[in-house]
Structure 1
């Protein structure tokens, strides 16, 4: 009996080890593929940003000659083209065209007779033509790409994207005409992809694409550029052998010592931070929404999403505490992503039916680093079929101390169509400089100033000054903490349209209760 029991235990242990090893291998492989996909997506996003900078430079060159300060193809105009070519890292030659002919260029000078242009490879809107694989006189008849529009042609540098080369990764940069569903490659390797898949930016493999490759696509929202990145799965597995062996070994140990692993996992998961991360992964947090009311009309103009969480003992945690904890430990991005997905999912239909309403979502400054938040917002807004302008992203004032790193990110949010608000204004590092430099849409005045209305507090005089500042800078205003009719009347007497939040008009509530606030306060002032 003992021998059989030992044999059964040995067989079970062997099966557990084998199953654990197999599971570990496939988990390791999936981790490699997931990491590679994320890296490829980030790589593609960076290439898109570079392509957008490239596009802006080409637009600047075209504007320099439309109108031109010099006579067409005069020595002064040719000198201007030579100077711009010399200064550019992205453009190898600039020319002037008229009636389908190249009349002069920085490198070749005045052409007599003018050169007849070939048929364009792609015609974009506003008279922009793309010529691909054109023999270039300036490069010993090597072929290149020319962008022509507004009577100005520019030869693109064949090395413009070379500094973006990465080991084990390939890329393809295309100029795309969405109307005609045509594309022309201007840089990188030729990758066999489907244009419909590229434009969709899906992570799943498109039709006709090699099953031995991982692909990611990203398209610009401000220029007709799309980028596809790719990497070989065989190379990833070869390079990731150490990772696969580690996962396999860990899987074997897990299969053999399951009880010990469970015990260790339990001990590791006791802390608050682990509970919070686990709650985020399992989507155990909830959202409530506080109505935003416009004064003096008292119409509901939107709502702010507020996250709530109770730990595994059922004790409600203060939002300020666990949000700060997530920021400190570096997983605030996971919390923000959960709030974005859940809020748009819960309120999307309301926003779709009421395009005048706005959903405010709090974010951290670190959320604006990289492309993750931008990609998530774009995905969720498209799925919900709402306008980006219906989403307002609120940054706390303390997040605005590093203006240099935020300026470009806020500009990018504006280019996508989102609103940007400064939350808790007046409680942190107030200055005219950051409001001007960051070019936000609105400021949200902290409740500490609302409480001084009608009192003799020293800070009571600050609120009118903030309102005057906002009016001077043409910023919208949202006032927090309006809890009495006297406070509301005071704000109405200021003589400008503004938005308010507070228990006078509504406590935070679930999404399904929000529709009742639309138009409710035209006749009523309290709930």
Structure 2
């Protein structure tokens, strides 16, 4: 009792833990989620910024190409008209004109300045495809303004650096544009720190900061890149939506996990513990159902079955046997069945050498000599022949052929016939029947139910019977409930039947009385014994 209370207390504690952990975890996850969203959003913004950089640069290159199409002499009316058209057509181009030998010659804004000696210094950068770039070129029209100027083949265009960073952004996140080859800033948002932005660029945005997130992006067409930055968010800053959302998720998840944990722990610990208690204190009962020879209605043997009554309520064997299998209790349960079978039917078996009892074993006991050694020791000195204790195993026990073949052969070598129980419901195939040496197939009740009916599954039983005959195996039909079934089975060459038509499972004492009344032959169409 104390053990069960301890287990229940453990399940409650685990349920509480499962309830609280998601709530506290949600705070951590919410903070991580905010950071992830920030990085993703900033990365997307960097991609947009580099698209602007590509667009401005493309317009400058396209404008130079348009200037080169005018075949007229430099500074001719047609040449200046073409330059004016370029300025009008390209929104980021502020001026366009002609230069030669380090001097401005003319533009629509400057006019013809060939006689004014307006010098143009050497370019800051020369690209491999022939473009010249002046990063901070002071305009002859202004004492303070410095443009980015690009030239080729004697033509130039001027671009306001602000065009590169002039994005519509309600958050007003700082942007910097970097010329990758030289590592020089081309443009930067007002108020941003150039050294800070260059440092972030050099470290690919991986800068440790409690206040800012950084992201970088590269142009796919030109040697240009951008750096963007934004303030780091916090859970508290997004309290109305993110924190509330994650806490709500945490509370619901915690409640659900707590309930599931309690149910699972109470089911997986309390019930198995009770079953272990019942097995160790021999509270599991063993009953026996007769197996009748169809040819003469003589009882040839019986199957040992387990029953368990807990607090006045019968627990289904399908439930507690599966729990025993899942919790390493199946071997102690099988040992108890063997012990009670020999104790309760020992005298009957020794007095009737042709009578037998079949015992169900698990797949675990077909993968070692443990149960065979126990069985041999238990029969020693009892006068019970090995053939009177027969071994039943379900089809799934035969799945691992390499692990079970030798042990099945050992059981048969020791004199214990092997039955395949519930045949047809698991992994039935000629391949494993030919691989293993077995003695009897037991047709599952679900197929016996349909043998005198016109249903789709009614063809299964005849196939199983034909298969068994071809392999020289005997057959036991389970779940026989009518005389018509008995007649059909007998006509098909089935040797044995088991089911309520003959008798329900009963105690050893009731079986002895039943055998005293039903050992004489009787017709298959007589009333079932109850």
TM-score w.r.t. length of structure 1: 0.48
Larger Rg computed on CA atoms: 2
TM-score w.r.t. length of structure 2: 0.47
